[in-house]
Chains A and B, each alone.
Chain A
Amino acid sequence: MFVPCGDSVPDLAGFTFLMPAVSVGNVGQLAIDLIISTLNMCKIGYFYTDCLVPMVGNNPYATAEENSTELSINAEVYSLPSKKLVALQLRSIFIKYKSKPFCEKLLSWVKSSNCAKVIVLSSSHSYHRNDLQLRSTPFRYLLTPFLQKTVQNKIKSLNWEEMEKSPCIPEIDDSEFCIRIPGGGITKTLYDEGYSVMTPQHLPCSGKCQVHGDYSLAVVFLLRFFDLFSVL
Chain B
Amino acid sequence: MAATFFGEVVKAPCRAGTEDQEEEEDERRETAEDREVRRQLARKREVRLFRRQTKTSLEVSLLEKYPCSKFIIAIGNNAVAFLSSFVMNSGVWEEVGCAKLWNEWCRTTDTVHLSPTDAFCVFYHLKSNPSVLLCQCSCYVAEDQQYQWLDKVFGSCPRRNMQVTVLTCRHVTDYKTAESTSSLHSPFLKALKTENFKEPPCCSLLEQPNIVHDLPAAVLSYCQVWKIPAILYLCYTDVMKLDLITVGAFKPVLSSRSLKGLVKNIPQSTEILKKLMTTNEIQSNIYT
Which A residues form the contact surface with B (CB < 8 A)? 3, 21-26, 46, 48, 50, 53-60, 62, 68-71, 73-74, 93-97, 99-100, 125, 182-186, 188-189, 208-209, 213
Contact = CB atoms under 8 A, between A and B. Distances in A.
B33 interface: no
A56 B224 contact: yes
B17 A71 contact: no
A75 to B, nearest CB: 9
Contact of A189 (B24, B143, B194, B215): B24
B15 A26 contact: yes
Contact of A71 (B24, B38, B146, B220): B220
Contact of A55 (B15, B38, B194, B217): B217
B221 A54 contact: yes
A22 B15 contact: yes
Given A3-B226, A24-B17, A93-B15, A74 B208 contact: no
Nearest to B12: A208
Contacts of B38: 97
Contact of A96 (B144, B194, B218, B220): B144
Contacts of B211: 55-57
A59 B208 contact: yes
Nearest to B17: A185
B206 interface: yes
B54 interface: no
B209 interface: yes
Interface in B200-236: 205-215, 217-218, 220-221, 224-226, 232
Q: Is the interface of A mostly helix, strand, loop or mixed?
A: loop
Task: Give the most central of B27, B143, B210: most A CB within 10 Å.
Answer: B143
Task: Give the most central of A50, A62, A186: most B CB within 10 Å.
Answer: A50
The 4 closest A-B pairs by CB, nearest first: A185-B17, A50-B147, A57-B211, A24-B16
Contact of A46 (B24, B205, B213, B225): B225
B23 A55 contact: no
B249 interface: no
A132 B243 CA distance: 60
Contacts of B208: 57-60, 62, 68
Given A59-B208, A71-B195, A54 B213 contact: yes
A71 B210 contact: no
Contact of A99 (B14, B23, B192): B23
B194 A71 contact: yes
Nearest to B216: A56
Nearest to A59: B208
B163 to A, nearest CB: 15
Contacts of B210: 57
Task: Give the most central of A3, A54, A62, A70: most B CB within 10 Å.
Answer: A54
A56 B18 contact: no
Contact of B20 (A73, A99, A125, A208): A99
Contact of B23 (A71, A97, A183): A97
18 contacts: A3-B225, A24-B15, A48-B221, A53-B213, A54-B143, A54-B214, A58-B205, A59-B208, A71-B192, A73-B225, A96-B23, A97-B23, A99-B20, A99-B23, A99-B24, A100-B24, A188-B21, A189-B24
A54 B146 contact: yes
Contacts of B70: none
B193 interface: yes
Contacts of B193: 69, 71
Given A70-B195, A188-B21, A189-B24, A56 B212 contact: yes
Contact of B220 (A22, A56, A182, A213): A56
B192 A208 contact: no
A152 to B, nearest CB: 27
Interface in B1-27: 12, 14-21, 23-24, 27
Contacts of B15: 22, 24, 26, 93, 209
B167 to A, nearest CB: 15
A56 B16 contact: no
A58 B14 contact: no
Contacts of B27: 97
A209 B192 contact: no
A93 to B, nearest CB: 7
Nearest to B224: A71
B17 A184 contact: yes
B20 A186 contact: yes
Nearest to B145: A95
